[in-house]
Amino acid sequence: MWDDRYATDEYRFGTQPNRFLEDCASLLPPAARILSLGEGEGRNAVYLAGLGFDVTAVDASAVGLAKARQLAQERGVTLTTITADLNDYPIEAAAWDVIINFFCHMPEPERAPLHQRVIAGLKPGGAYILEVFSPQQPQFGSGGPTTRDLLMSVEDTRRELTGLDLRIVRELIRHRDDDDPSTPLVAVLQVLALKI
Ligand SMILES: C[S@@+](CC[C@H](N)C(=O)[O-])C[C@H]1O[C@@H](n2cnc3c(N)ncnc32)[C@H](O)[C@@H]1O
């Protein structure tokens, strides 16, 4: 499905990084080893690589990751890309300073086990940064999944990320990254969690 969506010269989600990621980036340790889950066409991974981080991007879409490599080349930065289904991708244990997940919506029976592997994959002191649509999103008509099991709440976060120190966990209504005037608002969950 995503290969078809990405099969265009346009960058579906643009080439600018997510704003919550930009807000968090200054908190990250220099030269951090970062794993991006469901990276898509590379807007966030390329941004982080441009800040000097060592970034590995995983996505099921080979087409999306080819565009990510193209964007990296245009910006003069280096990325590692891995085409894989996150249900099968073995996250290396205690290996990552930072793991990010932006809008990679998986059903709860797949997401919860993935989150167990995210927790195991972080080094002590490592950070998990996530922004996904919250259960309020369908009422805004501005895209994203419409079924509850693909959306994520504060309560879901507390249940799935047990053992992490939840420094930021909030549901909020914000403007879209692309500021589309016809459907300008989105309902999201933002998380910054540290492995103690
Ligand atoms: C809405 S896009 C977000 C892309 C990117 N993170 C961004 O914010 O621009 C969701 C991405 O998650 C990927 N994805 C969804 N389920 C996946 C899975 N089970 N394994 C790997 N990638 C997955 C899709 O291929 C797609 O690129």
Residues in the chain: 196
Q: Which of 104, 111, 117 to mutate to test the pocket of ligand 1 (most atoms within 8 A of CB)?
A: 104
- 137-143, long-range: CB within 8 Å, 24+ apart, which pairs? 137/186, 137/187, 137/188, 139/187, 140/173, 140/183, 140/185, 140/186, 140/187, 141/183, 142/176, 142/180, 142/183, 142/184, 142/185, 142/186, 143/183, 143/186
Per-residue model confidence (pLDDT) at position 76: 98
Query: Is ligand 1 within 6 A of the CB of residue 64?
Result: yes
Q: Report the pLDDT value the prediction gives residue 157, as an integer from 0 to 100.
A: 98
Paired tokens of 162: 């047990």
The number of the ligand 1 atom at minimal distance from the alpha carbon of 43 is 9
Q: Return d(Cα 103, Cα 110) in angstroms, integer.
A: 15
Residue 133: DSSP 8-state: E
Ligand 1 neighbourhood includes 106 CB (under 6 angstroms): yes
Ligand 1: does its nearest atom lie under 6 Å from the Cβ of 13? yes
Instruction: Give the per-residue pLDDT at 56.
Output: 98
Positions in the chain short of pLDDT 70: 179
What is the CA(155)–ligand 1 centre distance, in A?
Answer: 23
Structure tokens at 131: 């922004």
C-alpha span between 194 and 163 (Å, rounded): 9
What is the topology classification, in CATH, of domain 2-195?
Rossmann fold (3.40.50)
Instruction: Determine the pLDDT at residue 18.
Output: 96
Compute, in angstroms, the gap from residue 40 CA to the centroid of ligand 1. Answer: 5
Query: Can you give the pLDDT at residue 178?
Result: 76
What's residue 127's pLDDT? Answer: 98
- 3-class DSSP assignment, residue 77: coil
What pLDDT sits at residue 72? 98
Per-residue pLDDT tens over the stretch 84-101: 999 999 999 999 999 999
With tokens 């991708």, the residue in question is 89
What pLDDT sits at residue 180?
77
8 lines ligand 1 (CB under 6 A): no
